Amino acid sequence: MDLLFKDKKITGILTVLPKKVVKFEDEIENYSFSPAKSMKLKLAMGYKEHRIAEEGQTSLDFCEAGLTYLFENNLLNKGEIDALLFVSQSPDFFVPPTSNLIHGHLDMKHDMICMDINQGCAGFELGLIQAFLLLEQPQIKKVVLLNADILSPKVSARDRNSNPLIGDAASVTIVEKSSTPNTIHANIKMDGTGALAINIPAGGFRMPSSEETAEMLEDEAGNFRSKDNLVMQGDAVFNFVQREVPPMIEHLFEQASITKDDVDWYMFHQPNKFMLNKLADKLDVPREKMPSNIVENFGNASGVTVPTNISYNLGDELVNGSKKLCMAGFGVGLTWASIYMEVGNLSFNKIIEF
Amino acid sequence: MKQEIIQIIKDLRPEFDFSQEVNFIEEGMLDSFDLVSLVTDLESKFGVVIDGMDIVPENFSSLDAIEALVNKSKK
């Protein structure tokens, strides 16, 4: 689905990372990799280190830490927030929405919208699209988009598909109306027939968690995980991304009447370094214009990898100037989405630790 | 080229005999993580770029298949 938005802008991005750093070398013994294979995969996949939340910390905690930082440093006025979007797969509760909890804890005004959206790898793009749609309303002038996932507690330490790459993180993105005319092009696609390619089988209403679902089982590849753990069909997801993402980006270029060279930076979701490099090659984009260093330094925190990418790699470049960004997310759902827009002159674009 | 490919995959999985006429994938001699390393090594050794769409099990099932993939990636 092609989407077009007028006169909207991002005015600030704050990424909130856990302080705890876990190194790949410290986890190798959990996996059935030989030492030589581990070193090769470290380079190719981006297995270096990842940020993991402390036990008991949730997505809500990281979002509140980010918002509190912005309030206390006068970077965001609480009273000006007209909508609070929380995009995550790791809510505190099934009921109530996490955005309502944050609203209450931070004593926000009644005259506003709180909304939870369950989305993963494309969560930043879907959240931005929702923010742009809300901003079409005359009464909504400022939307706060929260992307957060603390999924490490759901990943088995002995799952070599997911554990070396999982990361925990949150981000706060401010989206507002723009007084300077601009155009934002976006597209988004869904394929629910592949929805279980990335899933957590137990813990919902369909299969409540029990002693039985907690039993650790070995799969054909030698991974140990329970039905309470995240499972990812890595091969299927890789093939889906290589098949669907390049044509989506080519189509975005057509929508916006641009060429690949008009884009300053390709800020893509980062499942692993190898997948990113293959996408850059396929699109004939220099690998250095599509950074792949988030997954190796911080891990894959689902929809938070794109804002982390922007904060880490573009930092002050987007505070002191502006750049044309092509952003893309792909994975859970299956969902794939991309946005082309100019981003710059931000009030803040940085990383803090919590 | 075949000998060079054999050397690369022997370095990757020294416990197997890749001169056998068997399906490397079905026999469990190469798994998906091996394919990541193998693609990286083949690209480096032969100066090719392997298309992500071609990274599927059937292209790594035999020496002939891997050689055909490298040759295709040169074009």
Q: What is the CATH number of domain A1-354?
A: 3.40.47.10
Domains defined along chain B, listed by start: 2-74 (1.10.1200.10)
**Token pair 């506003």 is at which residue?**
A112
pLDDT above 90 (res A261): yes
Which residues have CB under 8 Å from A66's CB, separation 6+? A14, A16, A146, A170, A171, A172, A352, A354
Q: Which of B29, B36, B49 to mutate to test the interface with A (most CBs of A within 10 A)?
A: B36
A45 to chain B: which residues are within 8 Å by CB?
36
Q: Residue B31: which of A40, A221, A279 has the nearest Cβ? A: A221
When comparing pLDDT for B6 and A107, which is higher?
A107
B52 to chain A: which residues are within 8 Å by CB?
238, 241-242, 275, 278-279, 281-282
> Can you give the pLDDT at residue A265?
98
pLDDT one-digit tens code per residue, B25-74: 988 888 888 899 999 999 999 999 999 999 999 999 999 999 999 999 98
> Can you give the pLDDT at residue B2?
84
A44 to chain B: which residues are within 8 Å by CB?
36-37, 40
Sign of CA dihedral A31, A22, A116, A329: negative
pLDDT above 70 (res B75): no
Sign of CA dihedral A47, A53, A58, A59: negative
pLDDT one-digit tens code per residue, A112-139: 999 999 999 999 999 999 999 999 999 9
Beta-carbon separation of B36 and A45 below 8 A: yes
Total Cβ atoms within 10 A of residue A188: 18
pLDDT one-digit tens code per residue, A305-349: 999 999 999 999 999 999 999 999 999 999 999 999 999 999 999
Q: Residue A41: which of B36, B51, B53 has the nearest Cβ? A: B36
User: B15 CB near a chain A CB, below 8 Å?
Assistant: no
Average pLDDT, chain A: 95
Q: Residue B51: which of A41, A234, A282 has the nearest Cβ? A: A282
